[in-house]
Amino acid sequence: MGSNRPDAILKAVKKGRGGVFVSHHKLTADMETVRMPAPERVVLPMLQHIGAPCTPTVKKGDTVAVGQVIGDSDKFLSVPIHASVSGTVESVADVKLANGTMAPAVTIVSDGEMRLCEDLTPPVVKNKEDLVKAVRASGLVGLGGAGFPSFVKLTVSPEKPIDTLVVNAAECEPYITVDYRECLENSWNILNGVYLLAELLELKRVVIAVEDNKPEAIKVLKNIADQDIDRGNVVRLMTLKSRYPQGAEKMMVLSATGREVPAGGLPADVGCIVMNVGSVAFVNRYITTGKPLVSRSVTVSGDCIKNPMNLRVPIGTSMQDIVDYCGGFVKEPAKILSGGPMMGTAITDLNVPLLKSNNAVLAFSKKAAGFKKETPCIHCGRCHAACPMGLIPTDIEKYALLKDADTLNKLGTMVCMECGSCAYSCPGGKPLVQYMRLAKSVVREAAKK
Amino acid sequence: MEEQKLFTVSASPHTKSPVTVQGIMLDVIIALIPAGIAGVGIFGLRALAVIAVCVASCVGFEALFVKLLKKPMSIGDLSAVITGLLLAYNLPVEIPLWMCVIGSFVAIVIVKQLFGGIGQNFANPAITARIVLLVSFASAMTNFTAPKVLDAVSTATPLATLGAIDRAGDIGSQMMAGGLPSLTAMVFGVRAGCIGETCAVALLLGCCWLLVRRVISPIIPLSYIGTVAVLMLLFSHFDLYYTAYELLSGGLLLGAVFMATDYSTSPINKKGKLVFGIGCGVLTTVIRLFCSLPEGVSYSILLMNVLCPLIEKVTAPKYFGFVKKKKEKKAKEGAA
């Protein structure tokens, strides 16, 4: 190899349209992830993923250990839920989730020992099928925020062969730094995860995508790619100009391969799998240790948090416990977000559990939360210019209010991924994402008829 | 138990860009200031009076209208100030002030507010008001005085002189004979014309500000002025001097930078903007060269304003994943 060694760093094949430049506010970038001790109790909802909810497999009074399955489902689109602390099941009842819906949940009172379940053994993974089975058993959902069961992504159908894995380390949402920390602290797991997936899925190319505002991560990841060049030569690093929503799945596929995911389709339709960098690292960790998804990294930040930090938190820990661990509030928060400021959900109170897909807890004062009064549309076109999907949100708003499903379909309403670029850039302060959701519900309802 | 305090919830995103409607309008006003200063410098203090009356009556009519209709007060968005400025910039300096008030009424009440206020009007208020005044008071609207720095006598605009030129003959010598101001005078706006339209330097300065602040996209000004330039070159058998004159005459720069780019009356998408600009350019050239009117910027922009919804419909952008889907379908059909 030596002299004709290929360059480890790629440029984007194709640049996506639209997007906005959002201030990064990565306050916690230089803070090493701190392991939060077991809270007094955890609440584990049976629905922490997109798909069918699990049925609890434990009952009140049962003793459970870390990693023990406490909920599962025989439906296809579902992953098991594991106990995140050791202790006693206090109740199995409905609880309120961050998005306001109710779901059955198992509440465990911790014994403080964090005793690991004895049945946990590393899975034997020899082929694609083993991998899919193992990833399902691990309870993994996309750690980037959407919460889609990962094993589904890895299920390759013969009609849709996969040649490229895009490892998403772009982390384009402001404030959040968990993926960045993952790159720095867990590079070994990422490296091996990438090898493992590349080998089992017989991939032609693995692209690790990162934004250019993370030079430290680039250094580490380049090292990974360089090592691979000596080995099998499939892994490449791709640096992207930081721009929101760079890390959106369809944008990632476009940047890495130049392929456009068809409207209503998935990356698999164009031969790609996109996985969050944390998910890749987790796959490797699970396959070597057999410890399922019971904790995750989360960025606690915002101008109201006393000590912003990156935490490793048992899943099901309440937001209140997390905020308390970070020293509480320094000033009155107006908004608490589960997730990032662009796509996260605002929650009414802290009495909700952290789910597998939550990557941040942010607390903003009234000033930082960017409240804007809604004024009439001036037809300036900023929403259209910002839309990565090339939609015209202001037109969609009009037809949504008219409940005109046909026109909404023609305007491509359903490809909207609710990234919030339109609403961010609207000078009139219009809640355009809300209108987009309204438009989608108009289309969905019309389709039912 | 103490009542639990709830945090604010709203749809994402939870952060907003600092750009506001008021901020955008302020940028446009700033961009219009150089042309105003130039206008007052060239045509004297009466220009300032015209500007003041137009702005005051536009803002006044807007305030009055929303008050009468019990709508929320909207003069804070500063858009009425811009309408007033643009109207004044499109009037000759000797216009009777009461005509300015009538113009403002047409712009704000009839064209803007009766259609629903900011963002809802289908035609540019200032341009429509100018055309109404031009049709109603033709002599006052075409009574152009020479710049104050020269002699304040009624004079023909350069465009009127250009219009009389026979392009089949020797253009250069005819222009010479027409007694046109020098090209330098044209660039700095020392020529007969409306208050704000003559000084190319000031208008381009304003244009730069709008571009730097990303208030407007360069597509419409470039395609508008570019189309006029190309067509004039063709029709003058590639006479550069004549073409430069055409570009600097009349209200082309003012119209292309400030009026054709009006948000509510121009298309949102890029292709639409291009079509809109080229359309304006073709119409302006056709009116200037083949119609009995010397100037065609206002009429061209107004006509394209009316066509804007149609242009937007025809040039509707394809959303992400759209083309691919069709192709795949065809490919599948082909395979089957």
pLDDT band at B149 (very low <50, low <70, confident <90, very high): low
Decide if B147 is inside a domain.
Answer: no
Residue A306 within any structural domain of the chain = no
Residue B317 has pLDDT above 80, yes or no: yes
Confidence of residue A280 (pLDDT cuts 50, 70, 90): very high
A230 inside domain: yes
Domain boundary among A231, A264, A289: A289
Provide the domain count of chain B: 2
Give the Cα separation of A164 and A147 in Å (integer): 21
The distance from CA A35 to its chain's CA centroid, rounded to whole angstroms, is 20
Look at residues A289, A324, A352 and tell me which one is the last residue of a structural domain.
Answer: A289
ipTM greater than cut 0.90: no
Alpha-carbon B116 to chain mean position:
21
Average pLDDT, chain A: 89
Q: Of B139, B163, B185, which residue constitutes the final position of a domain?
A: B139
B142 close to A (CB below 8 A): no
Q: Which of A97-106, A383-392, B140-149 has the highest mean pLDDT?
A: A383-392
Domain limit, last residue, from B105, B139, B173:
B139
Q: Which residue has the higher pLDDT, A8 or B145?
A: B145
pLDDT of residue A3: 42
Which chain A residue shows the shortest CA-CA distance from B329? A262
Q: What was the pLDDT predicted at B324?
A: 46
CA distance A415 to chain B (A): 7
Mean pLDDT of B59-75: 94
Look at residue B198 and tell me if it is in a domain: no
Identify whether residues A280 and A392 lie together within a single domain. no
Pick the residue of B2, B17, B77, B120 with the most A CBs within 10 A to test the interface with A by mutation: B17
- Report chain B residues whose CB lies below 8 A from the CB of A341: 12-15
Q: Which residues of A touch B120 (CB under 8 A)?
A: 376
Residue pair B81/B58 in contact by the 8 Å Cβ criterion: yes
Q: What is the DSSP string of A49-106?
A: SSSPPPEE---TT-EE-BT-EEEE-SSSS---EE-SS-EEEEEEEEEE-TTS-EEEEE
Can you tell me which residue has the tokens 């430290």? A216
Q: How would residue B335 be classed by pLDDT, with cut points 50, 70 and 90?
A: very low
* B135 plus B25 within the same structural domain: yes
Amino acid, res. B275 = V
Neighbour tally for A121: CB within 10 Å: 8
Q: Do A433 and B12 touch (CB under 8 A)?
A: yes
Name the pLDDT band for B175 (thresholds 50, 70, 90): confident
Q: Is residue A48 part of a domain?
A: no
Q: What pLDDT is recorded for position B154?
A: 59
DSSP-based three-state secondary structure for A301: strand
Tokens 């996209």 belong to which residue?
Answer: B217
Parallel/antiparallel/unpaired status of strands A295-301 and A205-211? unpaired
CATH number of residue A137's parent domain: 3.40.50.11540
Q: Which of A257, A375, A443 to mutate to test the interface with B (most CBs of B within 10 A)?
A: A375
A357, part of any domain: no
Domain range for A148 is 2-29+122-289
Query: Is the confidence at residue B150, as pLDDT, over 70?
Result: no
Q: Does residue A127 sit in the same domain as residue A260?
A: yes
Residue B208 lies in a domain: no
pLDDT exceeds cutoff 60 at B329: no
* Chain A CB contacts of B117 below 8 Å: 376
Range of the domain at B52: 21-139
The answer to whether A327 contacts chain B (CB < 8 Å) is no
Question: Does B117 reach chain A within 8 Å, measured CB to CB?
Answer: yes
Q: CB–CB of A376 and B321 under 8 A?
A: no
CB contact under 8 A, B321 and A262: yes
Side chain identity at residue A11, one-letter code: K
pLDDT of residue A371: 78
Co-location of A418 and A280 in the same domain: no
Give domain status of residue B168, yes or no: no
Do B328 and A342 make contact, defined as CB atoms within 8 angstroms?
Answer: no
Whether chain B has a CB inside 8 Å of the CB on A417: the answer is no
A318 in contact with B, Cβ within 8 Å: no
Query: A399 and A253, same structural domain?
Result: no
Q: Which residue has the tokens 């159908």?
A: A157
CB-based contact B314:A384 (threshold 8 Å):
no
Q: How confident is the model over B40-63, as a mean pLDDT?
A: 95
CA nearest neighbour of B18 among A340, A383, A427, A21:
A427
Q: What share of chain B is helix, strand, coil (3-state, %, to 5)?
A: 65, 0, 35
| pLDDT (tens digit per residue) in A196-248 | 898 899 888 889 999 888 888 888 888 877 776 656 678 888 888 888 898 89
Assigned domain for B37 exists:
yes
**pLDDT (average), residues B50-62:** 97
**Does the pLDDT at position B172 exceed 80?**
no
Check CB contact of A439 with chain B, cutoff 8 Å: no
- Write down which residue in A240, A267, A289 finishes a domain: A289
pLDDT (tens digit, 9 = 90+) per residue, A404-436?
999 999 999 999 999 999 999 999 999 999 999
Predicted local distance difference test score (pLDDT) of residue A306: 94
Work out how many domains chain A is built from and give that number: 2
| Count of CA atoms in the C-beta half-sphere (13 A) of A343 | 19
- B74 → chain A, closest CA residue: A375
Helix (H) or strand (E) holding A347: strand A345-347
Residues B127 and B226 in one domain: no
Assess whether A271 and A410 both reside in one domain.
no
Tell whether B28 and B134 lie within a shared domain: yes
Cα–Cα–Cα angle for A391, A397, A399, nearest 5°? 95
pLDDT-based confidence at residue A6 (cuts at 50, 70, 90):
low
Q: Buried b / exposed e across A80-94, counting CB within 10 Å, b at 16+?
A: bbbbbbbbbbebbee
Taking the C-alpha atoms of residue B251 and residue B231, their distance in angstroms, rounded to an integer, is 17
Q: Are A378 and B74 in contact (CB under 8 A)?
A: no
- Among B111, B139, B167, the domain-final residue is B139
Contact status, residue B275 vs residue B219, Cβ threshold 8 Å: no
Span A283-288, average pLDDT: 93
Q: What percent of chain A has pLDDT over 90?
A: 59
pLDDT at residue A14 greater than cutoff 90: no
- Backbone phi and psi for residue A362, each to the nearest 5 degrees, phi listed first: -120, 140
Q: How far is B125 from chain A (nearest CA, A)?
A: 14
Query: Mean pLDDT throughout A188-199?
Result: 88
Q: Is B221 exposed, middle or buried (0-12, 13-18, 19+ CB in 10 A)?
A: buried
The continuous run of DSSP H or E covering A166 comes out as: strand A164-169
A64-94 confidence digits (pLDDT tens): 999 999 999 989 899 999 999 999 999 999 9
- Give yes or no for residue B285 having a pLDDT over 70: yes
B124 and B226 belong to one structural domain: no
pLDDT tens digits, residue range A94-151?
Answer: 988 877 788 899 999 999 888 898 888 899 888 889 999 999 999 999 887 778 899 9
B270 in any annotated domain = yes
Structure confidence at residue B325 (pLDDT): 47
Residues facing A69 on adjacent strands? A82
CB contact under 8 A, A263 and B10: no
Distance, in Å, from the CA atom of A129 to the CA atom of A201, rounded to the nearest integer, reads: 10
Q: Are residues A283 and A396 in the same domain?
A: no
Whether residue A441 is predicted with pLDDT greater than 90 in this model: the reply is: yes
In a domain, A13, yes or no: yes
- Position B323 pLDDT exceeds 70: no
From CA A293, how far away is CA A69, in angstroms rounded? Answer: 11
Within a domain: B83: yes
> Cα B196 to the chain's mean position, in Å?
11
